[in-house]
Structure 1
Amino acid sequence: MLLLLIITTRIDSTVAGWVDPSSQITVTTSLIDGTEYDLVMSDEFETDGRGFADGEDSVWTALDKSDDDMSAAGGGSLHFYNSSHASTSNGFLNVSTTTEKTTWTGFNPFKQAFVDLEKDYKSAMVNSWNKFCFTGGIVEIDAILPGEPNTAGLWPAMWILGNLGRATYEGSTNGIWPWSYDTCDRRLQHAQHVSGCSDVNHYGLNARRGRGSTEIDILELMPGEKGWLPSTFPKIQRPYGAMTLQVAPGVEKNRPQSGSVPVRVGNDGTNGFPPTEPQSWYEGLGFGSNTSMNPFFYGTYLGETKPEEPTHRTKKEAFQADAVGAMFQLTKAHFERVHTYRMEWQPGKGGRIDWFVSTEGGRERPGVKKKEVNKGDEEEEEENTVNKRHKEPVKPSGFDPASKVLPQTSSKWTHAFSIEDESLSGLQGSQVPAEPSYLIFNTAVSSTWGFPYDTPDTCKKCYSCFDPDCACAIPPGFCESLKNGKTSMLIDSVRVYQAKDDDAHVGNKHTVGCDPIGYPTREFIEGHESLYMRPIPFTDKHALLPLKSGGGKCTSDDDCGEGVCTKEADLSFWSKSSNTVCNCGKSGYMGSFCKTKIYGDDEPGAYDYELNTSWFFKRISIPYIPVELAGFLVALVAGFIGAFVVTLKKKKISGGTYRGVAGNEMTPQFNKARRALHR
């Protein structure tokens, strides 16, 4: 009974939702439905020196792994995610990219052998997977974009992903990404691993509910050389921001061709051309006055895999995913000053997604000398915003006739892009995502994003800034730009708001948590945990490490955030070390250096709710035991066990046979009888 009390002890801690105490704004108004939304999560990144390695932060985790696209055709990623490239300073979250090499030994599934691997760039991905998730609401990210507007090579992104898939862990996303389909379709059942045809709710999932890990890209940056891009209406040039919903199932026949807008009207052959059918694509999409449909990426076909690939898809599991996206015109100002990137998300059937960008900039990038603005810069800024905001919708020439132009009713915001649920359900039967989703900030470097694609045959296919022979395959000025200190994406703040009144908006109810009752994820993740862990040579025992409570080496209290610098010997009766380490104590902060506040969900998730309401646990009272009493009980039990072990060692039994605790097993007489029985 004493051991049971210790096991069920809960530790009192300071948990008050996910709102940063330094946040000044706690309410906002929807630009769509006009109602008030409350702040439910925020991070202002005001504390300098925060680290985001696994176990260091209660909200964020920065990855330490290679970003691999292990397809048979070979991947395009050139970077290794390193948690040291994510930190806080000057009130920003700094996601930096450098030309540092990373080498390691890893398993190559195509060669079926361990080989030496190398990546030429280091960067960071910071996300809140399986920590902070939300379903629906308003997301606002204040950020300065990295790099130079007209120098290609970086692939920064601010996005959300359903919690059932862990970004860059392909085993977890295979057959899960980017499904948003809640209908039983026997033809698609094999491709959607958690389909609406399932009658049994394994791993805590709800029966007959299709699940997935849908991706909503709030912004992906495409920098590069100037010049109006073909098939964009209104005309767009680099740099632009891609705003995209990636969703499955996708359109399988008569898809639009990359580089062209959808052909809505077919040709019957009477004009001398071969007869053609109209192309199938989503109707009713809304585009702002500085935004065009994205004709360069309509989605990804996930085909049958080869036997040696680490993730497997049979012919029946192959499927088409769609990218329903827009291109928003960016300017030089977005690289120099803070702008707000806003998404309003009403989840589920009848819902919608809307993207906004603030029209005015905030504070400037620190550490960069101000330059005089010449007339040429002003003309370029005006040229990039030639399609200025207007209140009355006006369709430019060449605009997709099945789409609409969004009226601009706010002087502070550009309404860039809009997707309503009818656009999705009317074509493929998919829906606006309703999955609990987490936030992601990262910068990638990929040979498929902004790198030259028409290099001559004589060009060496390599991408290292350290090898002069690779220059022909690298964007002009890219290597130089990595040295100027401006290739860091700076996040000034992130805030999530949710509706005060769920009846005031369309779609499903807003929720906070990674394991909501309607869309649970906890038991599924725990039941497939290996899919969410790094492969060999890493030795992960769990997908996430427990949050650390101090332990970082220090010389004074200044090193320890909200904690104190303490002798290690003072923290443990058994320690004789003279080292000093951070002690978080009861500060309400955690991490090696006590710089992250302890956050958590205010309401229990699906697993905890089921546990607390089940017949068995309803009848067991779980007492609360203070930390001091728990420590005393642990010491008492340890002393009792120690004394018991010593007593056993001292006790000698005649004949040399261990008598056992009960005193009557394994006696010499019993052994003699047993030997006689087996003759």
Structure 2
Amino acid sequence: MAASGQRRPYPQLADSPSTASLLQSTETNHRSPEAAFAQGPRYSNTQSFTSSGSTSWNGSPTNQGVLDRRSYQTNSVSEKFSLPADPAVWGSNVSPDFQEPDDWIHNPDPKRDRKSDRGGSIVSYRGLTNLGCLVVLVVGLLALFAGYPIIHYFTTNQLSNLGGFNLGGINASGQVPEMIGNYGLIDADTPSSAHTYKSFADGSEWQLVFSDEFETPGRTFWPGDDPYWEAVDLHYWQTNDLEWYSPQAIVTKDGSLEITMSEKEINNLNYMSGALTTWNKFCFTGGMILVNVSLPGSSSVSGMWPAVWTMGNLGRMGYGASLDGLWPYVYDSCDVGTVANQTYNGGPAAALSGGDPSNGGALSYLEGQRLSRCTCPGESHPGPYHSDGTFVGRSAPEIDLFEAQVSGGVDSAGLSQSAQWAPMNHEYIWDNTTGNFDIADSSVTQLNSYAGGVYQQATSAVTKANPDCFDQNTGCYEVYGYEYQPGYKNQSGYISWVANGDVAWTLDAGGMVADPETEINDRPIPQEPMYIIANLAMSENFVTVDVANLVFPTTMRIDWVRVYQPKNAVNIGCDPKDYPTAAYIQQYADAYNNPNLTTWTGDTSAGGYGQTEPKNSFLGQC
């Protein structure tokens, strides 16, 4: 390699870093370096190296100088960072008696004695702080694991037995609304003043258990739209109606539920209207139901048939197969009253004559109570059982808040308020003696001349309607409803119907006691869970239809619906333990979901459900 290209070591200048400047004394800023680092570089002169041939290194020849410089360069670097193993060589005082100067925290004190530790006190800022932290920690743990449960127990409001329906709206079918909203059993728009109501019977204060104010506009009631209400889509052939019930006909508007009858061809019928129910979604047993209603049409033109009514959950309105053998029975005895036509072996005589004059005097054309107390063990029955092992008689009873009718002419509008029954009394005459019923004002309310026919017996009274509260008049609203106590006479069963906001008439359970002529036993005030129905119909079966003078469209409006029950006897739900319905409905789902099935038995090709009647012990079939 050329001499000019060789690397040359440079002498250590006065201001160059060295071990002397790297290791500082703890006593002064200029302590001498320890012995191992006190040696300077191994050359005696300092000069600029500009050539490699003539300059000598410690008097050595040129080539040897190059080798020595390389050796020095390596040794000096390693010596800077190589420490002897003995700290004494570094110049440190390693005597065990020597105490290094340090801060007060790290001053070693090899023995604990009074001299060093006296004057201390547990009552110090630090001690109090430690103790305070421990107190806070203990109190916090006690509050979390003991205090919170106790406080929660005493401050949480006791849940009412409104079922599992709330946090925002589970109905009796177990459906939960997908969207957050006003879906509780008690409508948020119900004023607080309406959360209680005094019983018409004894003046006790009852609590609100269900309400709907219909304040939200644009609500619809197709299947799945609402957690409590559902509109049907069918023809109500049972009463030969002239209209088709469609969900299109029902909406909420201006703070009311509107059911509109219009002259519109639909499904081979000339009129469209609506029917709305809470079937299998909301039911109640006992209590009071009130509605604030404006009636459709005119108070002087006949034809409209508006109604608000209730039915037992085992029968679905408009679904014939579900109703066959259940409506309108209210019976829990095992005798001739449970069999077809209320007759057996040619008797009793009272069931063969003196009945419906339109049907040759026959008392009943009913096919018998399908789910009676006479049902044989092992047969299909929703239960439950009596203590004697027999089934509880089950059915789909009916109680009407009102059915409005106009017979034609001024002030001819009336409200039929009734309950339907089977089995039936001879000539449909119930025990309407003093003490078994009461009419509040005979100038306003009278017993209905219609008492029944081959398909039902009726306990009914007719109350004059306010002629102004019709759609084509001023359209005002009035309160209708009923209050009832389920059970027999010895259980103080009764029904009190409400019209114009006051009790119109009352039926006591004593009115439906045993009838020796037809050989039937007592019938209780309905004990089944009842659901709500509101519909607007038109049928010649109910009243003459004056097509020439009826004006379409016409609307029935419901401002609100409210249900009250005694505070100590709240009983809501469609599947109560003492009158279950859910399992039976699920077992025979087709009967409750196919309106084209009209009978329980019969050929399926002709509209029958194809089931068999449960065997009856009274008929000797067990």
Residue-pair matches, total: 371
CA change 1:144–1:160 in 2 (3 A) is same
Aligned equivalents of 1:137 and 1:186: distance in 2?
A: 32
Q: Does 1:420 align with 2:508?
A: yes
Aligned equivalents of 1:129 and 1:12: distance in 2?
A: 19
CA change 1:448–1:182 in 2 (3 A) is same
- Does the Cα contact within 8 Å between 1:149 and 1:224 map onto a contact in 2? no
TM-score by structure 1 length?
A: 0.52
Aligned equivalents of 1:501 and 1:11: distance in 2?
A: 19
Aligned equivalents of 2:251 and 2:465: distance in 1?
A: 26
The residue matched to 2:561 in structure 1 has which SS? strand
1:432-511 to 2 correspondences below 5 Å: 432-451=525-544, 474-478=546-550, 481-483=551-553, 487-502=554-569, 510-511=570-571
CA change 1:47–1:211 in 2 (3 A) is same
- Does the Cα contact within 8 Å between 1:138 and 1:498 map onto a contact in 2? yes
Mind listing any 5+ residue stretches in structure 2 that lack a counterpart?
Answer: 1-163, 171-183, 341-367, 386-390, 516-520, 598-622
Which residue pairs with 2:457 in the alignment? 322
Q: Which amino acid aligns with 1:193?
A: R
Shift of 1:188: 2.1
- Does the Cα contact within 8 Å between 1:65 and 1:534 map onto a contact in 2? no
Shift of 1:348: 1.7
1:78-477 to 2 correspondences below 5 Å: 78-103=242-267, 118-186=268-336, 188-189=338-339, 191-198=368-375, 200=377, 202=380, 204-207=382-385, 208-226=391-409, 238-251=412-425, 253-255=426-428, 281-283=431-433, 284-289=436-441, 290-295=444-449, 297-302=450-455, 321-335=456-470, 336-349=475-488, 350=491, 351-358=493-500, 413-427=501-515, 428-451=521-544, 474-477=546-549
Q: Does 1:58 align with 2:227?
A: yes
Q: Deviations over 1:62-83 (max 9, x none)?
A: 01111113xxxxx531110010
Shift of 1:299: 1.6
Shift of 1:226: 2.5
- Does the Cα contact within 8 Å between 1:151 and 1:476 map onto a contact in 2? no
- Does the Cα contact within 8 Å between 1:203 and 1:523 map onto a contact in 2? no
Shift of 1:512: 0.3
Q: Does 1:19 align with 2:186?
A: yes
TM-score by structure 2 length?
A: 0.57
Shift of 1:536: 6.0
Q: Which amino acid aligns with 1:522?
A: A
Aligned equivalents of 1:167 and 1:200: distance in 2?
A: 29
Q: Which amino acid aligns with 2:188?
A: P
The residue matched to 2:469 in structure 1 has which SS? helix
Aligned equivalents of 1:424 and 1:536: distance in 2?
A: 34
CA change 1:62–1:535 in 2 (3 A) is closer
Q: Which amino acid aligns with 1:418?
A: T
Q: Which amino acid aligns with 1:497?
A: Y
Q: Which amino acid aligns with 2:549?
A: G
Mind listing any 5+ residue stretches in structure 1 that lack a counterpart?
Answer: 1-9, 70-74, 104-117, 228-236, 257-279, 303-320, 359-412, 453-473, 503-509, 538-679
The residue matched to 2:407 in structure 1 has which SS? coil
- Does the Cα contact within 8 Å between 2:446 and 2:461 map onto a contact in 1? yes
CA change 1:300–1:41 in 2 (3 A) is same
Which residue pairs with 1:45 in the alignment? 214
Shift of 1:524: 1.1
Shift of 1:426: 4.6
Shift of 1:435: 0.6
Q: Which amino acid aligns with 1:46?
A: E
Aligned equivalents of 1:300 and 1:11: distance in 2?
A: 40
Q: Which amino acid aligns with 1:87?
A: V
Shift of 1:242: 0.2
Identity over the aligned pairs, expressed in percent?
31
Which residue pairs with 1:512 in the alignment? 572
Shift of 1:331: 2.3
Q: Deviations over 1:397-444 (max 9, x none)?
A: xxxxxxxxxxxxxxxx43211111111125451110011010010001
CA change 1:27–1:11 in 2 (3 A) is closer
Shift of 1:32: 0.7
- Does the Cα contact within 8 Å between 2:319 and 2:595 map onto a contact in 1? no
Greater relative contact order (CA < 8 Å, ≥ 6 in sequence) = 1
CA change 1:166–1:12 in 2 (3 A) is closer
Which residue pairs with 2:198 in the alignment? 29
Q: Deviations over 1:217-275 (max 9, x none)?
A: 11000013127xxxxxxxxx620000011011111x3446xxxxxxxxxxxxxxxxxxx
- Does the Cα contact within 8 Å between 2:428 and 2:452 map onto a contact in 1? no
Q: Which amino acid aligns with 2:396?
A: S
Moved more, 90-99 or 348-357: 348-357
The residue matched to 1:532 in structure 2 has which SS? helix
The residue matched to 2:585 in structure 1 has which SS? helix
- Does the Cα contact within 8 Å between 2:235 and 2:243 map onto a contact in 1? yes
Q: Which amino acid aligns with 1:18?
A: L
Shift of 1:123: 0.2
Q: Which amino acid aligns with 1:347?
A: P
Aligned equivalents of 2:498 and 2:329: distance in 1?
A: 25
1:531-546 to 2 correspondences below 5 Å: 531-535=591-595
The residue matched to 2:399 in structure 1 has which SS? strand
CA change 1:355–1:255 in 2 (3 A) is closer
Aligned equivalents of 2:204 and 2:526: distance in 1?
A: 22
The residue matched to 1:100 in structure 2 has which SS? strand
Q: Which amino acid aligns with 1:23?
A: T
Q: Deviations over 1:150-190 (max 9, x none)?
A: 11111000100000011111111111001111112155245
Q: Deviations over 1:25-55 (max 9, x none)?
A: 2111101111111110000001000010111
Q: Deviations over 1:532-572 (max 9, x none)?
A: 123569xxxxxxxxxxxxxxxxxxxxxxxxxxxxxxxxxxx
Q: Deviations over 1:85-140 (max 9, x none)?
A: 0000100000110000113xxxxxxxxxxxxxx11100000010000000011111
Q: Deviations over 1:380-400 (max 9, x none)?
A: xxxxxxxxxxxxxxxxxxxxx
Which residue pairs with 1:643 in the alignment? none
Q: Which amino acid aligns with 2:214?
A: F
Aligned equivalents of 2:596 and 2:464: distance in 1?
A: 42
Aligned equivalents of 2:446 and 2:564: distance in 1?
A: 28
Q: Which amino acid aligns with 2:568?
A: D
CA change 1:145–1:433 in 2 (3 A) is same
Q: Which amino acid aligns with 2:581?
A: T
RMSD of equivalent CA atoms = 2.4
Which residue pairs with 1:395 in the alignment? none
- Does the Cα contact within 8 Å between 1:450 and 1:475 map onto a contact in 2? no
Q: Which amino acid aligns with 1:31?
A: F
Q: Which amino acid aligns with 2:454?
A: Y
The residue matched to 1:135 in structure 2 has which SS? coil
The residue matched to 1:331 in structure 2 has which SS? coil
The match for 2:582 among 511, 522, 530 is 522
Q: Deviations over 1:494-543 (max 9, x none)?
A: 000110134xxxxxxx4100000000011111111111123569xxxxxx
Q: Deviations over 1:600-644 (max 9, x none)?
A: xxxxxxxxxxxxxxxxxxxxxxxxxxxxxxxxxxxxxxxxxxxxx
Aligned equivalents of 1:512 and 1:240: distance in 2?
A: 31
